[in-house]
C-alpha cells in the first residue's frame, strides 16, 4: 500500500533496519534474503534522499536524519499494533499473540512462572519471549521492540503507563559452608568480605551502591559482577563471598543451591519493581488481558 508515494511496508523494514543496524540480522527478522533487504534499503534511501544507514568499518550507523525518523516511525507502528491490529484479536483462547517482555530472572522465577502456568491452560496459543533488562533500554518500548518492561521503580518514565508489581526485602546470602559469617554480619565483616553484584560495570542492578555510600557511608568490595541473579548464586558457591538479593528469590533457592541467609547490620531500602508499557498499548484488549493476569498474581508480592 502506498501513501503519498511511500510504500508503507517499507516503514516496517526501516524500523527493523534502524534497530538492528545490520543487514543480515534485519533480513532474518524480515524473513527476506540479504539482497532483498539491501534492495529495500536502497528504495528507502531514494525516497528519503538520505543514506539513512552508513557503513563505517564493520558496522552500520544511522545518519542524523534517520535518528530523527526513528521515534515517529516506531510510534506509528506501535499505534497500529496496539490500537488497530490489537482489536482484531480479542479472544485469548484463540489468540496467537506473541508477547515480548523485558524482565529479570528474579521476576520470571518469582512471579511470571505462575502467570505462564495459568495462561498455558486458558490461552494455549499465546507465546512469550523474555528479553534481558541488561541488554535493552527503556526506549525499546517506543520502538515496538517489547510489549512490557518490568524493572525497578527508579527507571520508570512518567510519560509511560506503569503500576507497582513487586515489593521485596533485600537480604544477604553466603555459601552454606562459609565459616567467615554466621547468622548475622557486623559492619566490619560486610565491608571486608568480597561481594558479588548484578549489573553493568560497578553499578548494581539493585541500585544499592549509591544508597550505601550516601546513607551508610560505606562501599562494598565488589569482586564479581554477573548479569542475572541465578548466576550470582552459582558464582557465590564454594567461596567466602557474600551477595545481596531479593528475599523471595533467595528463599526459592536456599535449599536446592546450598546457601544461607544472613542478617545485614543495617536496614536496606525495599526493592520495588514496576510494570511499564507504551501508552499506545493502554487499550489494546489482549495487552489489557495480559496485564490483568500478571497483576492478579502480583497481589501476593505488593
Query: What total of structural domains would you count in the chain?
Result: 3
Residue 40 maps to a domain: yes
**Residue pLDDT, tens place only, 21-71:** 889 988 988 888 999 999 999 998 988 889 989 988 878 888 988 888 887
d(CA 266, CA 46): 62
Residue 78 maps to a domain: no
Say yes or no: 283 and 150 in one domain: yes
Say yes or no: 140 and 109 in one domain: yes
- Number of C-beta neighbours around residue 49 at 10 A: 8
What pTM does this model have?
0.71
Residue 84 maps to a domain: no
**Residue pLDDT, tens place only, 176-204:** 999 999 889 999 999 999 999 987 544 55
Where does residue 1 rank: exposed (0-12), middle (13-18), buried (19+ CB within 10 A)? Answer: exposed
Residue 80 maps to a domain: no
Q: CA 130 → CA 47, 70, 94, 121, distances in Å?
A: 35, 23, 22, 19
d(CA 174, CA 153): 27
Residue 146 maps to a domain: yes
What's 284's domain CATH number?
3.40.190.10
**Which contacts (CB < 8 Å, 24+ apart) does range 55-63 have?**
59/21, 59/22, 60/21, 60/22, 60/23, 61/21, 62/18, 62/21
Say yes or no: 142 and 289 in one domain: yes
Say yes or no: 288 and 150 in one domain: yes
pLDDT, residue 60, reads 87
Residue 68 maps to a domain: no
Say yes or no: 129 and 184 in one domain: no
Residue 73 maps to a domain: no
Say yes or no: 189 and 240 in one domain: yes
pLDDT, residue 69, reads 84
Say yes or no: 201 and 222 in one domain: yes
pLDDT, residue 5, reads 55
Say yes or no: 49 and 137 in one domain: no
Say yes or no: 141 and 290 in one domain: yes
Quick one: what percent of the chain has pLDDT higher than 90?
47
Residue 89 maps to a domain: no
What's 16's domain CATH number?
1.10.10.10
Query: Which residue range is the domain that position 288 belongs to?
Result: 96-156+278-298
Say yes or no: 148 and 288 in one domain: yes
Say yes or no: 294 and 146 in one domain: yes
For residue 120, give every residue at least 6 positions away whose Cβ sits within 8 Å of its Cβ, in sequence order, or none: none
Say yes or no: 135 and 178 in one domain: no
Amino acid at each position: 500500500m502506498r501513501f503519498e508515494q511511500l510504500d508503507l511496508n517499507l516503514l516496517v523494514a526501516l524500523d527493523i533496519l534502524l534497530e538492528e543496524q545490520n543487514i543480515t540480522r534485519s533480513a532474518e527478522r524480515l524473513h527476506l534474503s540479504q539482497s532483498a533487504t539491501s534492495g529495500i534499503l536502497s528504495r528507502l534511501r531514494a525516497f528519503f534522499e538520505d543514506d539513512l544507514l552508513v557503513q563505517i568499518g564493520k558496522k552500520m550507523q544511522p545518519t542524523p536524519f534517520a535518528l530523527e525518523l526513528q521515534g515517529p516511525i516506531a510510534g506509528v507502528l506501535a499505534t497500529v499494533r496496539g490500537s488497530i491490529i490489537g482489536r482484531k484479536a480479542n479472544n485469548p483462547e484463540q489468540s496467537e499473540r506473541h508477547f515480548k517482555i523485558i524482565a529479570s530472572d528474579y521476576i520470571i522465577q518469582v512471579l511470571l512462572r505462575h502467570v505462564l502456568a495459568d495462561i498455558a491452560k486458558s490461552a494455549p496459543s499465546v507465546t512469550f519471549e523474555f528479553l534481558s533488562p541488561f541488554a535493552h533500554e527503556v526506549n525499546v518500548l517506543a520502538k515496538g521492540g517489547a510489549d512490557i518492561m518490568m524493572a525497578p521503580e527508579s527507571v520508570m518514565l512518567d510519560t509511560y503507563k506503569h503500576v507497582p508489581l513487586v515489593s521485596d526485602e533485600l537480604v544477604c546470602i553466603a555459601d552454606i559452608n562459609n565459616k567467615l559469617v554466621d547468622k548475622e554480619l557486623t559492619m566490619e565483616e560486610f565491608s571486608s568480605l568480597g561481594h558479588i553484584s548484578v549489573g553493568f560495570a560497578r553499578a548494581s542492578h539493585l541500585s544499592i551502591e549509591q544508597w550505601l555510600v550516601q546513607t551508610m557511608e560505606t562501599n562494598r568490595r565488589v569482586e564479581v559482577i554477573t548479569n542475572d541473579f541465578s548466576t550470582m548464586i552459582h558464582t557465590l558457591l564454594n567461596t567466602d563471598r557474600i551477595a545481596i538479593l531479593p528475599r523471595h528469590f533467595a528463599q526459592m533457592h536456599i535449599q536446592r543451591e546450598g546457601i544461607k541467609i544472613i542478617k545485614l547490620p543495617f536496614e536496606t531500602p525495599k526493592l520495588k519493581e514496576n510494570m511499564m508499557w507504551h501508552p499506545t498499548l493502554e487499550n489494546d484488549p489482549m495487552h489489557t488481558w495480559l496485564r490483568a493476569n500478571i497483576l492478579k498474581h502480583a497481589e501476593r508480592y505488593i
